[in-house]
Chains A and B, each alone.
Chain A
Amino acid sequence: MEPTLLNRYEDQMWELVGMMPGTEGLRMRALKAASEMGWPKKHDEKWHYSDTRALRDTVFLQAKAATTVPGMPAPLAAETSARLVFVNGRYSEDLSDMGDLWQAAQVRPLANHLMSNMDRADELVRGKDAATCLNTALMRDGMVLSVPAGVEIEDPVEIIHITEDNADAASHLRHIIELGEGASITLIERYAGDANGYWTNSVLQARISENASLHHIRLQEDGANAHHTGKVFANVGTDANYTATNLNLGGALSRVEVNVRLMIDGASATVDGVALAATAQSHDTYTQIEHLMPNTDSDQLFRTIADSRGKTSFQGKVIVAKDAQKVEAEQSFKALVFDKTAEANAKPELEILADDVKCSHGATVGQLDEKAIFYLTSRGIDPATARQMLVEAFTADALKAIEFDDVKTAVLERISEWMAARADKAILQE
């Protein structure tokens, strides 16, 4: 076994075992696996577009608790069933508002859950790598939410993560979602933080039973110097649906991985996303959708924009198992680059072992259409507004799954703000 910095996380692990007795077996196995695998490097295909040096050359401490009340980001949804706030990787009872959610569903902190039901914590996690294993070894907090059969939670549940004053420290979060038959919920998972070089390493696992549906909006707005590695594992049952909109705006290095297993006939998934990479940001999305049974559908649509020296990447893997006939899988990736120093990478990957399937994929990289800009400005629209309209139009398709108008408006505002910041920069450079 190669000596690796990953061994040096052992002290942290024992500290957590002290806090959550009984978890040592799970954590030790995970840390051992992480050490054996080592950090993914450039030749690891799944991590090819993300430079992990900053992560593998540092031992990140556990984020320390906040001593002051952090600045709260504005809510995305006007009405929520509950708002759970995690500060520096810890659940904050003071800042959270559990609303009526506890009456309809079961919500518990991760620590309580691990005491009684440790197996669940890791069982959906597949395709493990050092980041995920380290998450299992060092997970400290998270939300465990079970929505009973037949319960439909109308307003979104918002989980907000804030990190402040934690340079070179990490939050390893683990959220576990369980939807009973016919249950439905919209989950907004958000990340924000200050300008320190902290690391957010989160894993969310979801089990979606027959006829249930999980709408997942994931908004990554970590600070400009943060590292963000996020994973989603969703198992989708008969006639059940997982719908996700992944929005990546923050961080210096951001890599989000979405793994969906369509387990039984009629399972479907929509995985969309928008990434906006400003100068020196790298936004990498990796998706893997497994069609394990016939009559399962998936649909992916990603739109990304990279400013000067910004980088966006998308790798989408679709696997259709042997005998999984009548599968439909679509994938569309479009990137805009603002100049020659901006980078966009796209890599669709299809692994199809059945013969009666409809799978398609398309990827394009381009620039904003100058003809369209001239057309808009020749009608009296100023160039910054014209660019903004085109960018909004470009990203609109990838936001189609957001059903709440106020959430969609808030997301569009962020895209507008991002474009406005680019315009300001352009004016300063003139």
Chain B
Amino acid sequence: MLKINDLHIRVAGTEIIKGLDLEVKAGEVHAVMGLNGAGKSTLANTIAGREDYDVTKGSISYLGKNLLDLDPHERVGEGIFLGFQYPVEIPGVSNLNFMRTALNGIRKYRGQEAMSAAEFMKLIRSKASALQMDPEMLKRFVNVGFSGGEKKRNEMVQMALLDPKLAILDETDSGLDIDALKIVAEGINTQRRSDTAILLITHYQRLLDYVQPDVVHVMIDGKIVKSGGKDLALELEEKGYAAVA
């Protein structure tokens, strides 16, 4: 589904990703682990299409398409979702309006008709309740005044609503207490299907107790230095990055 070859990325003139290869197939869950500054978020944001990240070399292909040719909203239309490490607060825009515009943006891209307000309300209520989100949160401004956990849960509701083929979740587990972590993990597991792929970006293995990855990658200084099964995450936790790499 996703194939990255010899990827190099510069951010504000500094090379952050220095020749990265990664392949994720449908039905798989991959975890990319690494310390702060290893370039994990840069990778995630580049796949989503952040403009100020400059791909200087290499390629990203997604379902046979050159992903780098597409604008961020087009990538979403093609089925990519990025769960943000720091979801952005947008005062003045209600969560409901945001999600409905997003869903209808994707439908428009796919040549489908816009979803009616009534149909949308039914859908969003069911998604929110599955993730135990208070329906009142839907009426509030996007992420404004949300706790860290509420923001992450809001990301999960958006993922469930937009139903991506490839979900990239950037530190979705950080800042969550154990109850919230379980709910988020359940959301991820619901999205795990034979026709979807999930890329988890994290530096703790805690989340991986609840979402079992098929492949674990260790990222250091802009490259994947080691890949293995889910035991690799436990090994990292036990021995630290220096020993494992």
Residues of A in contact with B (beta carbons under 8 Å apart) = 369, 371-372, 374-383, 385-386, 389-390, 392-394, 396-397
Q: Mark B28-55, 1 if CB is under 8 A from A, else 0.
A: 0000000000000000000011110000
A382: chain B residues within 8 A (beta carbon): 71, 73, 105
| B207 at the A interface (CB under 8 A) | no
CA distance A393 to B87 in the complex (A): 18
Q: Which of A372, A380, A386 contacts B77 (CB 8 A)?
A: A380
A389: chain B residues within 8 A (beta carbon): 90, 93, 97-98, 101
Q: Mark B77-96, 1 if CB is under 8 A from A, else 0.
A: 10000101001101111000
> What distance in Å separates the Cβ of A272 from its nearest Cβ neighbour in chain B?
15
| B106 at the A interface (CB under 8 A) | yes
A375: chain B residues within 8 A (beta carbon): 84, 87-88, 90
Whether the Cβ atoms of A377 and B71 lie closer than 8 Å is yes
Whether the Cβ atoms of B103 and A380 lie closer than 8 Å is yes
B77: chain A residues within 8 A (beta carbon): 380
A377: chain B residues within 8 A (beta carbon): 49, 71-73, 76
> What distance in Å separates the Cβ of A335 from its nearest Cβ neighbour in chain B?
16
| B109 at the A interface (CB under 8 A) | yes
CA distance A393 to B95 in the complex (A): 12
Whether the Cβ atoms of A374 and B72 lie closer than 8 Å is yes
| B162 at the A interface (CB under 8 A) | yes
> What distance in Å separates the Cβ of A396 from its nearest Cβ neighbour in chain B?
5
| B191 at the A interface (CB under 8 A) | no
A-B contact count (CB 8 A): 75
Q: Which of A374, A392, A393 contacts B51 (CB 8 A)?
A: A374
B73: chain A residues within 8 A (beta carbon): 377-383, 386
| B183 at the A interface (CB under 8 A) | no
Whether the Cβ atoms of A381 and B105 lie closer than 8 Å is yes
A371: chain B residues within 8 A (beta carbon): 88
User: With A379-B76, A381-B73 as given contacts, are A390 and B93 in contact (CB-CB < 8 Å)?
Assistant: yes
Whether the Cβ atoms of A378 and B90 lie closer than 8 Å is no
CA distance A369 to B92 in the complex (A): 13
Whether the Cβ atoms of A380 and B105 lie closer than 8 Å is yes
Question: Smallest CB-CB separation from B77: which chain A residue?
Answer: A380
Whether the Cβ atoms of B101 and A381 lie closer than 8 Å is yes
B109: chain A residues within 8 A (beta carbon): 380
Q: Which of A372, A380, A396 contacts B106 (CB 8 A)?
A: A380
| B102 at the A interface (CB under 8 A) | yes
A385: chain B residues within 8 A (beta carbon): 101, 105
What are 9 contact pairs spanning A and B, CB under 8 A? Answer: A374-B72, A375-B88, A376-B98, A377-B49, A379-B98, A380-B109, A389-B98, A393-B91, A394-B92
| B172 at the A interface (CB under 8 A) | no
B84: chain A residues within 8 A (beta carbon): 375, 378
CA distance A36 to B48 in the complex (A): 65
- B89-121 contacts to A, CB under 8 A, are 90-93, 97-99, 101-103, 105-106, 109
> What distance in Å separates the Cβ of B72 from its nearest Cβ neighbour in chain A?
4
CA distance A372 to B87 in the complex (A): 9
Question: Smallest CB-CB separation from B94: which chain A residue?
Answer: A393
Q: Which of B50, B97, B98 contacts A374 (CB 8 A)?
A: B50
Q: Mark B116-155, 1 if CB is under 8 A from A, else 0.
A: 0000000000000000000000000000000000000000
| B158 at the A interface (CB under 8 A) | yes
> What distance in Å separates the Cβ of A292 from its nearest Cβ neighbour in chain B?
35
A376: chain B residues within 8 A (beta carbon): 90, 98, 101-102
- Given A381-B73, A381-B101, A383-B71, 15 additional A-B pairs, CB 8 A: A374-B88, A376-B102, A378-B72, A379-B158, A380-B76, A380-B162, A381-B105, A383-B73, A385-B101, A386-B73, A389-B90, A389-B97, A389-B98, A392-B93, A396-B92
Question: Smallest CB-CB separation from B50: which chain A residue?
Answer: A374
B88: chain A residues within 8 A (beta carbon): 369, 371-372, 374-375
> What distance in Å separates the Cβ of B228 from its nearest Cβ neighbour in chain A?
30
> What distance in Å separates the Cβ of B93 from its nearest Cβ neighbour in chain A?
5
Question: Smallest CB-CB separation from B48: which chain A residue?
Answer: A378
CA distance A17 to B98 in the complex (A): 59
A392: chain B residues within 8 A (beta carbon): 92-93
Whether the Cβ atoms of B49 and A378 lie closer than 8 Å is yes
Whether the Cβ atoms of A379 and B162 lie closer than 8 Å is yes
A380: chain B residues within 8 A (beta carbon): 73, 76-77, 102-103, 105-106, 109, 162
Whether the Cβ atoms of A379 and B102 lie closer than 8 Å is yes
